[in-house]
């Protein structure tokens, strides 16, 4: 049980680009059914770490296990099996530009799930609705969508196979505050209603304050702090203080 | 064998029973997207009464896809019992998401006639746009000649390096090989009549007047025309062209004119290289095949090849270059802002450039025929 409870396991990961070390022993675990945010200044390798967890980029050293599968030493079959169990939303959506929104959502369903034809359309409609999109968006091409809708369509595609873990790269960047808060509520409901584990990279303080269960702070190549918002604020570190002081200024 | 844990989960299954509550449908196992096909088949095979109790106390797992199947296939108003709290949330979430949502609008396909009309309209608009752009480019060139300081020398020389110097190896290689092949084919025929020496006339006039310009234009269309569209198209996607405009600069001056002028200067040079290389190719094969020594070849060439043929070939080059550069730049400057459009525009540039080069060549043939050159 305890083993199954840990969904993401990052163990002493080291990443170097040439002489420059981005990560120098990063370790943390993420438990099932939680909403965890990874934060850190620019250039601390948040996105790189995300790409390493989902198997797009190889870390120089260290181990990464996702849903019990070692992402960098497992056979291709096991990796393909695990790829069907997580979803990823890239920063700009990365929708397939030659397909409509509905066709984008249908791709994983047709490729990886044997959905009966009569249920395919209702299922696509459900996925769009779960991502907060109406049926009128279904026939649009990605180039016709606004930034927020593109992100929602990307979430719908990432949700298609009902993943156990969902990765989001800066889900609220480039969105207006109202849309961003709607997005936060959407992500929270995925965790609460569907039991999905969400791991996101963000810079959005409102997201951190309102919906995130746990925050992992990446700085100087390692995990600087790890815990709830309250615990993070208690950490005495100049970077953390300046990061969150912006918020305090607005409040006062 | 496979270490995916999902395979070991109990399969979704349902049983009919009746008890004090009436008809009961008992769900067991793991109801997930992976087993949706069986789930749906089993649900549809059932003849269900309108009053029904669904017993979910044995249910191991439920996801929203399976919940969707249940909600769509079961009659409305069934009673649920034994449903775990998180499964209730999933069912409620799915119900709230699908209730009152209309079907997806059907994917509309345009009819053949509609498609023809659309395409024809598109081509006409594009042709119109090309002509307008050509006008702007020519005005720009004239303006540059009148006010040479308007010329961006650094950009021009960078483009010239790209479209001319870097193109020399491929142009030389291709025209050399074409020269060999054409001379060989001419030689096969000429040999039968003992007219070996006239092969030199054939390759001399043919290469300089017609096929060196055409071959070079086709290479340039594929190399530089496509590159212009791709470069300007991606600059539009990253809003670089907009940045140029907001900085008070003209994209025409900064981006288009250097490319057009560079290509118009480069093409005659490339065609000249093409002339020399295809004649060299002819000379290479003439000796082993037709017993024409290089010296004889050159002497015959001097007698047979009037310099006007070379001029005719070279005179086409800047016109071809103008057409290719205008099409390439215009397609790039007007591309829609998505990745697919840039790819399609690049392909389109190559096709349009080659077609327009061939059409222009035909026009030149008639023109020079009438002039008697």
Position B138 pLDDT exceeds 80: yes
Structure confidence at residue B345 as a pLDDT band (50, 70, 90): very high
**pLDDT of A95-113, one tens digit each?**
888 888 999 999 888 888 8
Return the structure tokens found at B63: 């996801």
Compute the distance between CA of residue A159 and CA of residue A147 in angstroms, rounded to an integer: 18
Structure confidence at residue B42 as a pLDDT band (50, 70, 90): confident
The mean pLDDT of B283-307, rounded to a whole number, is 92
Mean pLDDT of chain B: 89
Chain A neighbors of B89, CB-CB under 8 A? 192-193
pLDDT of residue B99: 80
pLDDT of residue B272: 96
Q: Does B5 touch chain A if contact means CB atoms closer than 8 Å?
A: yes
Position B167 pLDDT exceeds 90: yes
- Per-residue DSSP letter, A144: G
* Interchain CB distance below 8 Å, B103 and A124: no
Q: What is the DSSP string of A33-97?
A: T-EEEEEE-TTS-HHHHHHHHTTSS--SEEEEEETTEETTTS-HHHHHHHHTTEEEE-TT----T
Q: Does A162 touch chain B if contact means CB atoms closer than 8 Å?
A: yes
Structure confidence at residue A247 as a pLDDT band (50, 70, 90): low
Which candidate, A138, A123, A192, A163, places its Cα nearest to that of A8? Answer: A163
* Interchain CB distance below 8 Å, A102 and B104: yes
Q: Does B94 touch chain A if contact means CB atoms closer than 8 Å?
A: yes
Q: What percent of chain A has pLDDT over 70?
A: 96
Q: What distance in Å separates residue B310's CA from the closest CA in chain A?
A: 47
* Interchain CB distance below 8 Å, A162 and B64: yes
Most confident of A143-147, B15-19, B280-284: B280-284
List, in order, residues 6 or more apart from A128 with CB less than 8 Å away: A101, A102, A105, A134, A135, A137, A138, A153, A156
The mean pLDDT of B123-136, rounded to a whole number, is 94
Structure confidence at residue B1 as a pLDDT band (50, 70, 90): very low
**pLDDT of B187-200, one tens digit each?**
999 989 988 899 99
pLDDT of residue B6: 46
> 0.80 cut: is pTM over it?
no
Q: What distance in Å separates residue A126's CA from the closest CA in chain B?
A: 6
Closest residue on chain A to B85 (Cα): A193
Compute the distance between CA of residue A37 and CA of residue A226 in angstroms, rounded to an integer: 10
Q: What percent of chain B has pLDDT over 70?
A: 98
Cβ density class B237-250: b for 16+ within 10 Å, e for less: beeebeebeeeeee
Please count the residue pairs, one from chain A and one from chain B, whose beta carbons lie less than 8 angstroms apart. 105
Position B325 pLDDT exceeds 60: yes
Return the structure tokens found at B203: 């390759």
pLDDT of residue B2: 40
Position A3 pLDDT exceeds 60: no
Chain B neighbors of A77, CB-CB under 8 A? 2
Compute the distance between CA of residue A199 and CA of residue A54 in angstroms, rounded to an integer: 11
Chain A (6-65) residues lying within 8 Å, Cβ to Cβ, of chain B? none
List, in order, residues 6 or more apart from A157 with CB less than 8 Å away: A87, A95, A104, A105, A107, A108, A127
Which contiguous run of DSSP H or E holds residue A244? Answer: helix A238-251
- Contact yes or no for A173/A39 (Cβ under 8 A): no
* Interchain CB distance below 8 Å, B64 and A126: yes
Q: Does B78 touch chain A if contact means CB atoms closer than 8 Å?
A: no
Give the orientation angle of helix B198-205 with respect to helix B294-304, to 10 degrees.
60
Position A251 pLDDT exceeds 60: no
Which candidate, A164, A155, A172, places its Cα nearest to that of A37? Answer: A172
The mean pLDDT of B278-307, rounded to a whole number, is 92
């Amino acid at each position: 049980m305890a083993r199954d409870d840990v969904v993401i396991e990052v163990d002493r990961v080291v990443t170097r680009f040439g002489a420059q070390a981005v990560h120098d022993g990063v370790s943390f675990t993420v438990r099932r059914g939680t909403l965890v945010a990874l934060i850190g200044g620019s250039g601390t390798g948040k996105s790189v770490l995300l790409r390493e967890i989902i198997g797009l980029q190889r870390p120089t050293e260290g181990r990464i296990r996702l849903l019990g599968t070692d992402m960098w030493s497992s056979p291709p079959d096991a990796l393909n099996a695990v790829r069907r169990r997580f979803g990823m939303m890239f920063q700009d959506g990365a929708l397939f530009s030659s397909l409509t929104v509905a066709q984008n959502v249908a791709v994983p369903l047709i490729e990886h799930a044997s959905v009966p034809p009569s249920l395919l359309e209702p299922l696509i409609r459900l996925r769009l609705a779960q991502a907060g999109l109406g049926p009128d968006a279904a026939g649009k091409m990605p180039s016709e969508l606004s930034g927020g809708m593109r992100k929602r369509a990307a979430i719908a595609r990432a949700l298609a196979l009902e993943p156990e873990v969902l990765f989001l790269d800066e889900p609220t960047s480039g969105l207006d505050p109202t849309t961003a808060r709607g997005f936060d509520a959407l992500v929270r409901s995925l965790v609460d209603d569907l039991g999905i584990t969400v791991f996101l990279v963000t810079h959005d303080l409102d997201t951190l304050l309102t919906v995130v269960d746990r925050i992992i702070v990446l700085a100087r190549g390692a995990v600087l702090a790890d815990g709830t918002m309250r615990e993070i604020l208690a950490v005495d570190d100049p970077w953390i203080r300046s990061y969150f002081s912006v918020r305090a200024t607005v409040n006062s | 064998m496979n270490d995916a844990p999902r395979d070991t989960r109990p399969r979704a299954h349902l049983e009919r029973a009746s008890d004090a509550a009436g008809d009961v449908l008992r769900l067991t196992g793991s109801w997930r997207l992976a087993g949706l096909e069986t789930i749906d088949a089993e649900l549809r095979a059932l003849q269900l009464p309108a009053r029904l109790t669904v017993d979910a106390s044995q249910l191991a797992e439920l996801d929203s896809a399976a919940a969707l199947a249940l909600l769509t296939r079961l009659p409305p108003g069934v009673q649920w019992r034994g449903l775990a709290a998180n499964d209730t949330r999933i069912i409620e979430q799915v119900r709230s998401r699908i209730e009152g949502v209309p079907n997806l609008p059907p994917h509309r396909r345009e009819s053949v006639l509609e498609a023809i009309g659309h395409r024809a309209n598109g081509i006409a608009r594009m042709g119109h746009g090309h002509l307008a752009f050509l006008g702007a480019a020519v005005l720009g060139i004239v303006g540059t000649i009148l006010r040479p300081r308007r010329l961006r020398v650094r950009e021009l020389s960078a483009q010239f390096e790209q479209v001319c110097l870097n193109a020399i190896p491929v142009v030389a290689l291709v025209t050399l090989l074409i020269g060999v092949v054409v001379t060989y084919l001419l030689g096969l025929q000429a040999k039968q009549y003992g007219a070996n020496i006239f092969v030199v006339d054939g390759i001399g006039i043919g290469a300089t007047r017609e096929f060196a310009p055409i071959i070079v234009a086709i290479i340039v269309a594929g190399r530089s025309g496509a590159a212009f569209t791709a470069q300007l198209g991606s600059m539009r996607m990253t809003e670089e062209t907009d940045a140029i405009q907001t900085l008070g600069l003209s994209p025409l001056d900064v981006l288009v004119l250097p490319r057009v002028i560079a290509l118009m200067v480069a093409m005659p040079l490339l065609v000249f290289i093409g002339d020399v290389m295809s004649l060299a190719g002819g000379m290479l094969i003439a000796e082993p095949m037709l017993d024409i020594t290089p010296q004889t070849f050159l002497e015959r060439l001097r007698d047979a090849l009037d310099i006007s043929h070379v001029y005719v070939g070279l005179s086409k080059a800047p016109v071809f270059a103008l057409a290719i550069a205008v099409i390439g730049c215009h397609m790039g400057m007007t591309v829609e802002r998505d990745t697919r459009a840039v790819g399609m525009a690049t392909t389109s540039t190559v096709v349009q450039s080659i077609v327009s080069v061939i059409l222009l060549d035909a026009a030149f043939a008639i023109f020079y025929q009438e002039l008697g050159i």
